[in-house]
């Protein structure tokens, strides 16, 4: 018996220069660790016994209608161009159109080697698989565009990283896996026809309303602007904003060494290899602009480099910092309960954040405490907050319902890094209870519930996770 998945594949119909057909490599002893029933039902995936799901979402059984393939892409990694990356351990099984009318990719991550694996083993271990599962679903519950997690399966095989670790496969669901790097690969090779085909495909799939030669660039920019502003508003650090991890559909994608901040600091990084702070919290808007410039450079290659096209692309990219500021301001005004715009708002927000950084205030708890009470207790030295608070109270005069606005903009719960690490340690030891509990709590991140009070607590000194690693 297999699983009924209503595949309807379009990417697999594109010419062969876009991918390599590649079936998943079977694993020894697949066991279902987690399955997202709600998402599965939106996607129209049939019900099945646990072992059938484990067979399909480990890649051991290729369901009817799937057209497994590895996608080709390139990318700037930490600023330097790698002309050929591609899915080295991920396999696109196909697409489905969900009950909500949305077309989505179903991809197995950690499903074995592909022609793009280079030196890698094509596998993933349980830690990053469960981290991505929890964080991506938490992100979704926070209302932020993201790839989703459908299933996690342990493989019964070891993978070798710093030592031997239990292997796992993540089933990831995305609006698509088209990246800035997908365009870069054909642009850098001078494959103009492929670039045109890809551009048409991306517009038809994601932005059918896009107009003109640079319509795609403008649409991606606007989606990225909203995404980055949303990340900033919850203290999220992606960690590896390489152009191959930058989604054309504007979703958060590729949860590697990412994290939500505990104590606020603008230059916080999480990746152990990000020594220059390229992907630090406060540098994310700059990097998003940089990545868009790379997309512009790639897209231009398909037009006779007429001045008009270059000018239009330049204008689109150059407008991005201002748009980011507008989106950022809107998010952070809401965090303070403000729905109107005044010139001094920027200063009001940045003054609070400077006090937070100096006072080593917890990002999530400080903002939430503005509405729940106890904000000054979040600061090591509350003097700066005490000076700031009356300005803020004054600014709120005339706001109809600032408390409701703040409760909707300031989550109670985020997936804190130390909880994720504790959850992974338990899962490796065979105990999925902390995973289940985190998932239950993070499903309603704006709600304060007594049973999950402990999950609001920042890490104790010995619990602080300094960096998460790329060894995923």
Residues of this chain that interact with ligand AMP (CB under 6 A) are 85-89, 116-117, 120-123, 240, 245, 254, 256, 470, 472
> Binding-site residue total for Mg ion (CB under 5 A)?
2
Under rule CB under 5 A, residue 254 binds Mg ion: yes
Q: Which of ligand AMP, Mg ion, none does 122 bind, CB closer than 5 to 8 A by kind? A: ligand AMP
- Using CB atoms within 10 A of its CB, is residue 84 exposed (0-12), middle (13-18) or buried (19+)? middle
With respect to ligand AMP, which residue has the nearer C-beta, 240 or 323? 240
Catalytic member of 4, 100, 105, 244: 244
Q: Which of Mg ion, ligand AMP, none does 345 bind, CB closer than 5 to 8 A by kind? A: none
Q: Are 145 and 453 in contact (CB under 8 A)?
A: no
Q: Are 36 and 106 in contact (CB under 8 A)?
A: no
With respect to ligand AMP, which residue has the nearer C-beta, 207 or 290? 290
Q: Which residues contact 30 (CB under 8 A, 6 or more apart)?
A: 54, 55, 57, 58, 60, 153, 154, 155, 156, 169
With respect to Mg ion, which residue has the nearer C-beta, 251 or 254? 254
Q: Is 362 labeled as catalytic in the residue annotation?
A: no
Least distance (Å) between residue 305 CB and ligand AMP: 30
Q: Which of Mg ion, ligand AMP, none does 55 bind, CB closer than 5 to 8 A by kind? A: none
Least distance (Å) between residue 160 CB and ligand AMP: 10
Q: Are 330 and 321 in contact (CB under 8 A)?
A: no
Least distance (Å) between residue 243 CB and ligand AMP: 11
With respect to Mg ion, which residue has the nearer C-beta, 258 or 413? 258
What DSSP assignment string belongs to 52-105? HHHHHHTTSS--TT---EEE---EEETTEEES----SSEEEEEEEE-TTS-EEE
For tokens 């106890």, name the residue.
374
Tokens (6 digits) for 168: 């796992």
Q: Which of ligand AMP, Mg ion, none does 117 bind, CB closer than 5 to 8 A by kind? A: ligand AMP
Q: Are 243 and 297 in contact (CB under 8 A)?
A: no
Least distance (Å) between residue 295 CB and Mg ion: 16
How far apart are alpha carbons 407 and 266 in whole angstroms? 23
Q: Which of Mg ion, ligand AMP, none does 89 bind, CB closer than 5 to 8 A by kind? A: ligand AMP
3-state secondary structure at position 350: helix
Q: Are 312 and 213 in contact (CB under 8 A)?
A: yes
CA angle 141, 142, 144 (to 5 degrees): 105
Question: In the window 2-31, what residues touch Mg ion (CB under 5 A)?
Answer: none
Q: Which residues contact 311 (CB under 8 A, 6 or more apart)?
A: none
With respect to ligand AMP, which residue has the nearer C-beta, 122 or 434? 122
With respect to ligand AMP, which residue has the nearer C-beta, 408 or 428? 428
Least distance (Å) between residue 245 CB and Mg ion: 5
Q: Residue 159: which H helix or E strand, with range?
A: strand 148-160
Binding mask 223-252 for Mg ion (x = CB under 5 A): ----------------------x-------
Q: Which of ligand AMP, Mg ion, none does 88 bind, CB closer than 5 to 8 A by kind? A: ligand AMP
Q: Are 25 and 113 in contact (CB under 8 A)?
A: yes
Least distance (Å) between residue 258 CB and ligand AMP: 11
Active site members? 244
Which residues would be at the binding site for Mg ion (CB under 5 A)?
Answer: 245, 254
């Amino acid at each position: 018996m297999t699983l009924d998945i209503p595949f309807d594949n379009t990417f697999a119909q594109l010419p062969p220069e876009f991918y390599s057909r590649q079936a998943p490599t079977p694993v020894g002893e697949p066991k279902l660790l987690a399955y997202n029933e709600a998402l599965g039902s939106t996607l129209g995936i049939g019900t099945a016994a646990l072992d059938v799901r484990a067979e399909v979402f480990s890649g051991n059984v290729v369901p009817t209608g799937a057209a497994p393939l590895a996608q080709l892409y390139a990318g700037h990694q930490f600023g330097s161009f790698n002309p050929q990356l591609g899915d080295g351990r991920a396999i696109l099984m196909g697409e489905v159109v969900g009950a909500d009318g949305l077309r989505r990719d179903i991809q197995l991550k950690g499903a074995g080697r592909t022609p793009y694996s280079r030196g890698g083993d094509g596998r993933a271990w349980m830690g990053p698989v469960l981290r991505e599962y929890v964080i991506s679903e938490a992100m979704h519950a926070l209302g932020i565009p993201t790839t989703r997690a459908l299933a996690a399966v342990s493989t019964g095989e070891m993978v070798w990283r710093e030592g031997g670790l239990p292997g796992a496969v993540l089933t990831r669901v995305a609006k698509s896996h088209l990246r800035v790097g997908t365009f870069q690969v054909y642009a850098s090779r001078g494959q103009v026809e492929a670039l045109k085909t890809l551009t048409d495909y991306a517009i038809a799939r994601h932005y059918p309303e896009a107009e003109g030669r640079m319509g795609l660039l403008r649409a991606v920019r606007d989606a990225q602007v909203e995404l980055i502003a949303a990340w900033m508003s919850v203290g999220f650090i992606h960690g590896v904003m390489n152009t191959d991890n930058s989604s054309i559909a504007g979703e958060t994608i590729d949860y590697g060494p990412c994290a939500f901040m505990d104590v606020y600091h603008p230059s916080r990084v999480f990746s152990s290899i990000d020594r220059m702070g390229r992907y630090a919290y406060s540098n994310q808007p700059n990097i998003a602009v940089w990545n868009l410039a790379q997309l512009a450079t790639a897209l231009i290659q398909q037009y006779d480099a007429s001045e008009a096209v270059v000018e239009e692309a330049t204008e689109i990219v150059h407008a991005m910092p201002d748009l980011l500021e507008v989106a950022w301001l809107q998010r952070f005004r809401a965090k303070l309960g403000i729905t109107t715009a005044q010139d001094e708002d920027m200063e009001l927000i940045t003054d609070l954040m400077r006090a937070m950084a100096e006072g080593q205030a917890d990002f999530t708890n400080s903002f939430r405490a503005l509405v729940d009470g106890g904000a000054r207790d979040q600061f090591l030295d509350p003097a700066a907050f005490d000076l700031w608070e009356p300005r803020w109270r004054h600014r709120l005069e005339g706001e109809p319902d600032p408390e409701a606005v703040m409760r909707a903009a300031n989550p109670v719960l985020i997936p804190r890094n130390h909880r994720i690490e504790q959850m992974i340690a338990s899962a490796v030891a065979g105990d999925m209870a902390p995973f289940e509990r985190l998932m239950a709590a993070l499903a309603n991140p704006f709600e304060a519930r007594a049973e999950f009070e402990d999950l609001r607590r920042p890490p104790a000194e010995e619990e602080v996770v300094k960096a998460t690693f790329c060894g995923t």
